[in-house]
Structure 1
Amino acid sequence: MTKLIVKNLTGDQIHPFLDELARLRIEVFKEYPYLYDGSVEYETEYLKSYAACSESLVVGAFKDEHLVGASTGLPMKDAAQEFKAPFAAQGQDIDKIFYFGESVMKKACRGTGIYARFFAEREGYARSLGRFDRVCFCAVERPADHPAKPSGYRPLDGYWNRRGYTRRPDLTTRFLWKDLDEVEESPKKMVFWIKPV
């Protein structure tokens, strides 16, 4: 297999990859547990917030110059309101939090150690900015008996714990999207995981 090249892109450098990143998100998020039925138009609009933020980060994994994996992050103050609200409600200083968005990788390119690299690059970047004391991400939580759950599915909780992240059930949000089997969007519960930097 061709070796994957990892590049860090910030701010304006993200613009040329918005369409590829949008399509990658749709492809990967169709899988359980997200089951996301997305559109390129919505995804491109959502991702513009990353391209517009000078301190955003996309860690891109490239194969033959094509984007096959990506991981994103930006200061929490520049994230969507749904992500900021739980912290603001607790009186936490969102200016000190760096938010990690998705980590997505085409199936054929998984198992190469890039997932760990995604975390390491984003954590290092947040530290390098010098004003953040925490990094966080949120993950969707589905019922244990969800009918679309694949046989042998293993959540990533153990991996996240080993990387030093703590699940915070007191910090939750709900994000709207349409599942593959839904006619309309519905709110999905998401729980935050936090790590000090």
Structure 2
Amino acid sequence: MSGIAVEPWLDELAELRIRIFRDYPYLYDGSAEYERDYLDRYARSKQSVVVLAMEYNRLIGAATGLPLSDADPEFVAPFERHGPPPEQVFYFGESVLLPAYRGEGVGHRFFDLRELYAQDFGYSLTAFCAVVRDPAHPRRPADYRSLEPFWRGRGYRPEPALTARFPWKDLGDSEETEKTMQFWMRDATLAESEM
């Protein structure tokens, strides 16, 4: 779905984001009020996309995207400083999926659908960002598996010059701290030429 059609789902999307992002590496102590405000940007964008994964009538996962120029200023700024121009990039906000449904191809489907949607609007560049945590972080689970191999397999590469600083409150903390967010990017025209 896109634009204002997202509106009826915003509360459930907010709950899902809070639930999933509590886990490492985000450790996000979120609030419904902040989430609703953040997700409202997708309802206001005419070219946004929200992909819902449902089991019967229950939301089990979601993935979002919108033109980078419609995203939060903190995400636009690195592209304004280092390029490519924000208006050439389609930004993937998040992919969140309940743990019981992981490993069944839903993550690939989230990327497939958003990449096709971006191409339909003429975007060959797609990007997302992920939090950077110290590998020795005390709250990193012993069985933690990075998503980097999955992202690389989809043709995404980290762009060293493209990072953002974004604040949130970690679980157990009393105040927000800024985190580094690393952008990963894929150029569909290059990916097709490598096939």
Query: When the two structures are superposed, what TM-score results if normalisation uses the length of structure 1?
Result: 0.93
Give, in whole Å, the separation in 2 of the partners of 1:73 and 1:91.
19
Q: Which residue of 2 aligns with 1:6?
A: none
Amino acid at match of 1:135: T
Corresponding residue to 2:2 among 10, 20, 34: 10
Aligned pair 1:105/2:104, yes or no?
no
Aligned residue for 1:155, secondary structure, equals coil
Aligned pair 1:154/2:145, yes or no?
yes
Q: Deviations over 1:14-70 (max 9, x none)?
A: 001000000000000000000000011110111000001111000100112121100
Give, in whole Å, the separation in 2 of the partners of 1:153 and 1:110.
14
8 Å Cα contact 2:82-2:161 kept in structure 1: no
Q: Which residue of 2 aligns with 1:55?
A: 47
Over the aligned positions, Cα root-mean-square deviation in angstroms equals 0.9
Q: How does 1:23-38 map to 2 (within 5 A)?
A: 23-38=15-30
Aligned pair 1:192/2:183, yes or no?
yes
5+ residue gaps, structure 2, are 189-195
Q: Which residue of 2 aligns with 1:136?
A: 127
Q: 1:61 to 1:91 in 2, by over 3 A?
A: closer
Amino acid at match of 1:190: M
Q: Please say which of residues 83-92 and 37-46 is displaced more in the overlay.
A: 83-92
Identity level (%): 50
Following superposition, which runs of at least 4 residues in structure 1 exceed 3 angstroms of deviation? none
Q: How many residues align?
A: 188
Give, in whole Å, the separation in 1 of the partners of 2:6 and 2:12.
10
Q: Which residue of 2 aligns with 1:93?
A: 85
Query: When the two structures are superposed, what TM-score results if normalisation uses the length of structure 2?
Result: 0.94
5+ residue gaps, structure 1, are 1-8
Q: How does 1:161-180 map to 2 (within 5 A)?
A: 161-180=152-171
